[in-house]
Amino acid sequence: MAGLAALLMACCMAAMHIAVAAGLAAAGPVRIWTVMSAGGLLLVYGLIRSGVSKRWADPSLTLAQIVYAIACNAVAYSIGGQARGIALPILAVILMFGMFGLSTRQMLGVMLYALAAFAVAIMAVELRGEPGHSPALSAAYGIMTAVVLLGSTFLTTRLQATRELLRRQKHELARALDHIRDLATHDELTGLLNRRHMLELMRLEQRRVARSGHQLTIALLDLDHFKAVNDTHGHAAGDRVLRAFAQAARQCVREADVLSRWGGEEFVLMLCNTPPEAARALLERLREAVARLQVAAQAPDAPPSASAEAPPAPLRITVSIGFTLHIPGEKIEDTLERADQALYAAKEGGRNRTAGRLKAPGGPAAQ
C-alpha cells in the first residue's frame, strides 16, 4: 500500500511539473513542494521497511500517510495556479486509501481535517489575489472539495459497515461450523466422542500401529444395571449418571487416550501405545473411581416431593470393563469383538470388574 501511495504521489508530482512547464504554475513553490512530498514518502518507506513501525498501533502508518498527503494536496492547490483543479481528483484518491485501514470515526476526523486544510488553502489563494483569479472559481472549487470529501467519506463509511457486517457473519459462520463439527463428532449428553468419529480414529490408529509396531489396547466399558436406574429414578437421573461417569472417566485416563460413548450406557476407550499390563492398571483405577461416585437421584433444583419425608439417597454405580490388545493386520471390528467377549466375561463374573481377552497371532485366546 505504501508503494502504491508513493507511485500515485509521483504521478501527482509529474502533473504539477507539467503544469509548470506549461506556464500554469510557478516553478519555485512547486520544486519546494516536490521536495517536501518526496521527503515524507521516503520517511514513511524507511519506517515501514526498517520495521520500526511494527511497534506502533498502526504499523502501515495509514492515518499518518493520509494526513500528510492531504496536507500536500492542499498546498498543491494553493500553489497550482491555473492548474489547481487537478488537486480535487487527487484528494478523492487519497481518501480511498482510508477505506481499508481506518475506522469510521477516523474517516470522519480525516474529512473535517481535509475541509479545514482546503479552507485554509482557498483563503490563501484569495488573499494573494493572483492575476486572472476568479472568486467564483474558488467558490466552485470549494463546493467540489466539499462534495468530494462528503462523497468519499460516505462511501468509505458504507464500505466499513459492510466489512464489519461481513466480519460478524464470518465469525458467526465459523462458530456455527464449529458447533456443527462438534455435533458431528461428539455425544451431546456426555461431551465425549461419538461412535462414528471414534471408529474413524481407531482406524487411523490401526494404520499407525501397523507402521510403527506400537501396542494398542481397546477397552469396552458398560455401566452395571443402568436400565434399573432409568426405570426406578427416570431418564433424567440416568442422564446425570452418564455425565458423572464421563467426567470421572476423563479424570482417570491420560491425554493420549481417547474415550467415546459407544451407545446407551456403553463406552469405548482407546489406549494408544499401551501394553495390556499398563492398560489393566489404568482400567482398574477407573473402575474404582466410578465405584466411589455418588450421583444425585433427584435434580438439585427439583422441588421436594410432598410425600417424601427425606430426599432420596444418592445413586451408586459400577462399571464392568473388557479389554484386549489389537493385533496388527486384523480389522478393528475384530478387536472390538474380542473386547466385547472380555466385557461379557466381566459381566458373567459378577460385574464391577475388569477382564482381559488377549490373543497372540496364531495362538489360543487367553484371559
Q: What is the pTM of this model?
A: 0.57
Provide the pLDDT for residue 106.
85
Given this model, what pLDDT does residue 306 score? 53
Per-residue confidence (pLDDT) for residue 303, from 0 to 100 = 62
**C-alpha closest to that of 84 among 129, 143, 137, 40:** 137
- Rg (C-alpha) for the chain, rounded Å, is 38
| Catalytically annotated residue among 126, 188, 200, 265 | 265
Closest-CA residue to 223 (of 312, 290, 315, 279): 290
User: Coil, helix or strand for 313?
Assistant: coil
For residues 282 and 256, is the Cβ–Cβ distance under 8 A?
A: no
Supply the pLDDT for residue 58. 83
- Cα atoms in the 13 Å half-sphere on the side-chain side of 111: 21
C-alpha distances out from residue 277 to 274, 330, 358, 359, Å: 8, 21, 11, 14
Q: Backbone dihedral region of 315: left (phi > 0), alpha (psi from -120 to 50 degrees) or beta?
A: beta
In this predicted structure, what is the pLDDT of residue 364? 43
Regions of the chain with pLDDT less than 50: 360-367
Q: Look at residues 323, 315, 226 and name the one whose alpha carbon lies nearest to residue 274.
A: 323
134's grid cell? 476568479
What pLDDT sits at residue 301?
Answer: 64
| 265 noted as active-site residue | yes
